[in-house]
Chains A and B, each alone.
Chain A
Amino acid sequence: MEAEIKTIKVTIDNITIDVAPGTSILQAARMIGGDVTPPAMCYYSKLEGSGGKCRTCLVEVAAGSTADPRPMPKLVASCRTGVMDGMIVKNMTSEKVPDARAGVVEFLLLNHPLDCPICDQAGECHLQDLGYDHGKEGTRYQFARRTFKKEDIGPYIQLHMTRCILCYRCTYVADQITQKRVHGVVDRGDHAAISTYISKAIDNDFSGNMIDVCPVGALTDKTFRFKNRVWFTKPMDAHRNCQTPGCCGKATLWLRGDEVFRVTARKDEWGEVQSFDGKPGWICNTCRFETKQTSSWTIEGLTTISRHSVIGANKYKTLEMPKETVKQVMHGQEPKLLMDIHSVSGVNNPDIHLSEINGPAHSSDFKK
Chain B
Amino acid sequence: MGKKLLLEKVHIEGIRHYDVYRREGGYRSVEKALKMQPNDIVEEVKKSGLRGRGGAGFPTGMKWSFLAKPDGVPRYLVCNADESEPGTFKDRYLMEFIPHILIEGMIVASFALGSNTSYIYIRGEYDWVTDILENAIAEAKQNGWLGKNIQGSGYDLEMYVQRGAGAYICGEETALLESLEGKRGNPRIKPPFPAVKGLWGCPTVVNNVETLAAVVPIINEGGEAYAQIGVGKSTGTKLISACGNINKPGIYEIDMTISVEEFIYSDEYCGGIPNGKKLKACIPGGSSVPILPANLLLTTAKGEKRLMNYESLSDGGFATGSMMGSGGFIVLDEDQCIVKHTYTLARFYRHESCGQCSPCREGTGWMEKILLSIESGKGKMSDIDLLWDIQRKIEGNTICPLGDAAAWPVAAAIRHFRDEFEWHVNNPEKCLTENFGLRHYADPVYVAGS
CB distance from A163 to the nearest CB of B (A): 14
- Expressed in whole angstroms, the minimum distance between the Cβ of B370 and any Cβ of chain A is 8
B33 beta carbon closer than 8 Å to chain A:
no
**Which of B353, B393, B396 is A190 in contact with, Cβ under 8 Å?**
B353
| Chain A window 45-70, contacts with chain B (Cβ cutoff 8 Å), 1 for yes, 0 for no | 00000011111001000000000000
A146: chain B residues at CB < 8 Å are 365
**Chain A residues whose C-beta falls within 8 Å of the C-beta of B189 in the assembled complex:** 51-52, 77, 80
**B353 nearest CB neighbor, chain A only:** A189
A70 to B69 alpha-carbon distance, docked (Å): 27
Contact of A55 among B355, B386, B397 (CB under 8 A): B397
Q: How many residues from B make CB contacts under 8 Å with A?
A: 27
Tell whether, in the assembled complex, residue A111 and residue B362 are in contact, meaning their CB atoms are under 8 Å apart.
yes
Instruction: Report the bound CA distance from A187 to B358 in whole Å.
Output: 15
Within 8 A of A (CB), among B331-372: 350-359, 361-366, 369
Checking B354, B396, B398 against A192 with a beta-carbon cut-off of 8 angstroms, the contacting residue is B354
Judging by beta carbons under 8 Å apart, are B184 and A108 in contact? no
Interface string of B146-186 (1 = CB under 8 A from A): 00000000000000000000010100000000000000100
**Which residues from B are CB-within-8-Å of A104?**
358-359, 393, 397
A55 close to B358 (CB less than 8 A): yes
Q: Does A185 contact B (CB under 8 A)?
A: yes
A144 to chain B: closest residue by CB? B369
B396 x A53 contact (CB < 8 A) = no
A166 contacts which of B356, B359, B366, B396 (Cβ < 8 Å)?
B356
Nearest CB in chain B to that of A74: its residue: B396
Tell me if A52 and B357 are in contact (CB < 8 A): yes
Q: Is the CB of B398 within 8 A of A140?
A: no
**Given A108-B362, A140-B386, A190-B350: A185 touches B355 (CB 8 Å cut-off):** yes
Distance in Å: Cβ of B133 to nearest Cβ of chain A: 26
Contacts of B356 in A (CB 8 A): 53, 166, 168, 192
Query: Does chain A have a CB within 8 A of B68?
Result: no
Evaluate contact between A188 and B167: CB separation under 8 angstroms: yes
- Report the bound CA distance from A189 to B367 in whole Å: 13
Would you call A53 and B362 a contact (CB within 8 A)?
no
Say if the beta carbon of A182 comes within 8 Å of chain B.
Answer: no
* B358:A190 contact, CB within 8 angstroms: no
Interface residue from B184, B350, B369, B393 paired with A189 (Cβ < 8 Å): B350
A329 at the interface (CB under 8 A from B): no
Shortest Cβ distance from A81 into chain B, in angstroms? 8
Contact between B361 and A190 (Cβ–Cβ < 8 Å)?
yes
Assembly CA distance A51 to B350 (angstroms) = 23
A165 within 8 Å of B by Cβ? yes
B399 on the A face (CB < 8 A): yes
CB-CB < 8 A to B365: which residues of A? Answer: 146, 189-190
A187 to B399, CA, bound (A): 18
Shortest beta-carbon distance, B386 to chain A, in Å?
Answer: 6
Q: A52-B189, A100-B397, A103-B397 are in contact. Are A187 and B359 (CB under 8 A)?
A: no
Chain B residues contacting A103 (CB-CB under 8 Å) are 359, 393, 397
Q: A75-B396, A146-B365, A188-B354 provided; 20 other pairs, C-beta below 8 A?
A: A54-B357, A55-B359, A55-B397, A77-B189, A104-B397, A107-B362, A107-B363, A110-B366, A111-B362, A166-B355, A166-B358, A187-B355, A188-B353, A189-B351, A189-B354, A189-B364, A190-B362, A190-B364, A190-B365, A192-B355
- The 6 A-B pairs with the shortest beta carbon distances in the complex, nearest first, are A103-B393, A192-B355, A52-B189, A107-B362, A189-B353, A190-B365
A–B complex contacts, Cβ < 8 Å, 27 sampled: A51-B189, A53-B399, A55-B357, A58-B397, A74-B397, A75-B397, A99-B393, A100-B393, A103-B359, A103-B397, A107-B358, A107-B362, A108-B358, A110-B366, A111-B362, A143-B369, A146-B365, A168-B356, A185-B355, A188-B169, A188-B354, A188-B355, A189-B352, A189-B361, A190-B361, A190-B362, A192-B356
Report B's interface with A, CB cutoff 8 A. 167, 169, 184, 189, 350-359, 361-366, 369, 386, 393, 396-399
